[in-house]
């Protein structure tokens, strides 16, 4: 086939993609609703006792008209989009409530997760950049440390969890440290690599200009390595975002991961879907925010 006959429209209108997005969404939701809808309850052929048993077990309820219908609260299998929508409205309409120790509104849960994540990520980034600079500036240290980095980097951050829990003992702190572990290695490795591969001419020039060590670090070395560092931070960010949700599930720490888990414990699949959407949405927002920041950082170079 001639590749020239198969290419993007040369001048797409802005609304074309948008309409297509909406159409995909509608098709998905429609298909989902169709796949999960079931026929109305049909009581013919059932005696009084069977109906009573179904009602007792919560399968059916009497509606206002005095007829038996399926209990909407109880779904078998995956709930439809209408039910999930109802759940979303219900959760979002009261986002700031606090009913005791274990039931906090969605806004609080998001706040806990974002806080936990930010503390772990910022701490790890500071440590990782410092370590990365030291390792990256000295070829001997770089070669000595590199094998360790290569082994430590692929370890799943959650694998550290039992050890962390055993040593620090506090689940709250452990969750932060899991995020810390998740965001440490990619930044260290990238920073070290970025520094090690700076154009040697930059360094020669700065030496010729007789810059002090600090001045050389902040005006030449770090800006030159900035793209690599930012790339490292991006990888760290993604892996930390992946780690924070299961850490909350496993540690029972309030947050969006915890929400997913308690909805699952309740076998409330609509709730699980809502929680998944929240996780996705929070991740998307944070990622967008981070992109803005990293763009600003790389622009400065």
Partner 1 sequence: MSVFRRDPFDPDQSLEHQHHAGCMHGASPVDGADGSQGETPQCSSTSCHGEHEKAISTEDAISHAVETAVVKAIFGQSDLSRRKVLAAAGAGVVAEIVRGMFPLDTAKAMAMEVGKIEKPDLSIGFIPITCATPIIMAEPMGFYEKHGLNAKVRRASGWAMVRDWAITKEVDAAHMLSPMPLSITLGAGSPKVPFYMPAVENINGQAITLANKHKGVKTAKDMKGFRFCVPFEYSMHNYLLRYYLAEGGLHPDKDVQIRVVPPPEMVANLKAGNVDGYLAPDPFNQRAVYENAGFIFKLSKEIWEGHPCCAFAISQEFAKTYPNTFLALFRSIVDATAYASDKSNRKEIAKAIAPRNYLNQPVTVLEQVLTGRYATGMGGIGNVPDRIDFDPMPWHSMAIWILTQMKRWKHVDTDFDYKTVAEEVYLATKCNTLASEMGYEDRTETYAKHVIMGKEFDPAKPDEYLASFPINNL
Binding footprint of partner 1 on the chain (CB under 8 A): 53, 56-59, 73-74, 76, 99-103, 165, 169-171, 249-252, 261-262, 264-268
Residue closer to partner 1 by CB (options 133, 251) is 251
User: Minimal distance in Å, beta carbon 106 to partner 1?
Assistant: 12
Residue listed under structure tokens 């290695």: 185
Residue closer to partner 1 by CB (options 238, 252) is 252
User: Minimal distance in Å, beta carbon 99 to partner 1?
Assistant: 5
Residue closer to partner 1 by CB (options 232, 271) is 271
User: Minimal distance in Å, beta carbon 264 to partner 1?
Assistant: 7
SS (H, E, C) the chain: CCHHHCCCCCCCCHHHHHHHHHHHHHHHHHHHHHHHCCCCCCCCCCCHHHHHHHHHCCCEEECCCCCEEECCCCCCCCCCHHHHHHHHHHHHCCCCCECCCCCECHHHHHHHHHHHHHHHHHHHHHHHHHHHHHHHHCHHHHHHHHHHHHHHCCCCHHHHHHHHHHHHCCHHHHHHHHHHHHHHHHHHHHHHHHHHCCCHHHHHHHHHCCCCHHHHHHHHHHHHHHHHHHHHHHHHHHHHHHHHHHHHHHHCCCCHHHHHHHHHHCCCHHHHHHHHHHHHHHHHHHHHHHHHHHHHHHHHC
User: Minimal distance in Å, beta carbon 76 to partner 1?
Assistant: 7
User: Minimal distance in Å, beta carbon 166 to partner 1?
Assistant: 9
Residue closer to partner 1 by CB (options 170, 204) is 170
Let me know if 188 is exposed, middle or buried by CB neighbors in 10 A (0-12, 13-18, 19+): buried
User: Minimal distance in Å, beta carbon 58 to partner 1?
Assistant: 5
Residue closer to partner 1 by CB (options 37, 99) is 99
Q: Cβ(125)–Cβ(182) under 8 Å?
A: no
User: Minimal distance in Å, beta carbon 122 to partner 1?
Assistant: 25
Residue closer to partner 1 by CB (options 91, 136) is 91
User: Minimal distance in Å, beta carbon 77 to partner 1?
Assistant: 9
Residue closer to partner 1 by CB (options 103, 199) is 103
Reading the block at residue 206, the tokens are: 């700065």
Residue closer to partner 1 by CB (options 106, 179) is 106
């Amino acid at each position: 086939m001639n590749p020239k006959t198969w290419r993007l429209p040369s001048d797409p209108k802005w609304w074309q993609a948008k309409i297509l997005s909406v159409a995909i969404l509608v098709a998905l939701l429609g298909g989902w609703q169709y796949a999960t809808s079931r026929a109305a309850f049909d009581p013919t052929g059932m005696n009084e006792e069977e109906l009573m048993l179904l009602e007792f077990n919560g399968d059916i309820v009497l509606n206002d008209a005095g007829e038996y219908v399926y209990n909407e609260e109880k779904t078998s299998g995956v709930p439809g989009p209408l039910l999930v929508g109802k759940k979303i409205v219900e959760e979002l309409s009261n986002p700031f409530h606090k009913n005791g120790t274990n039931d906090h509104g969605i806004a609080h849960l998001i706040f806990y997760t974002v806080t936990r994540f930010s503390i772990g990520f910022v701490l790890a980034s500071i440590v990782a950049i410092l370590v990365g600079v030291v390792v990256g500036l000295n070829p001997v240290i770089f070669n000595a440390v590199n094998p360790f980095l290569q082994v430590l980097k692929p370890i799943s951050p959650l694998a550290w969890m039992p050890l962390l829990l055993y040593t620090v003992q506090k689940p709250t702190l452990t969750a932060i440290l899991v995020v810390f572990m998740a965001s440490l290695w990619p930044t260290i490795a990238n920073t070290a690599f970025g520094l090690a591969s700076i154009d040697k001419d930059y360094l020669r020039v700065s030496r010729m200009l007789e810059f002090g060590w600090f001045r050389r670090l902040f005006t030449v070395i770090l800006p030159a390595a900035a793209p690599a560092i930012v790339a490292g931070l991006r990888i760290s960010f993604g892996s930390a975002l992946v780690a924070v949700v299961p850490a909350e599930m496993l540690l029972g720490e309030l947050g969006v991961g915890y929400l997913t888990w308690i909805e699952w414990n309740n076998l409330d699949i609509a709730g699980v879907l809502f929680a998944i959407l929240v996780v996705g949405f929070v991740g998307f927002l944070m990622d967008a925010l981070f992109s803005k920041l990293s763009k600003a950082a790389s622009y400065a170079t």
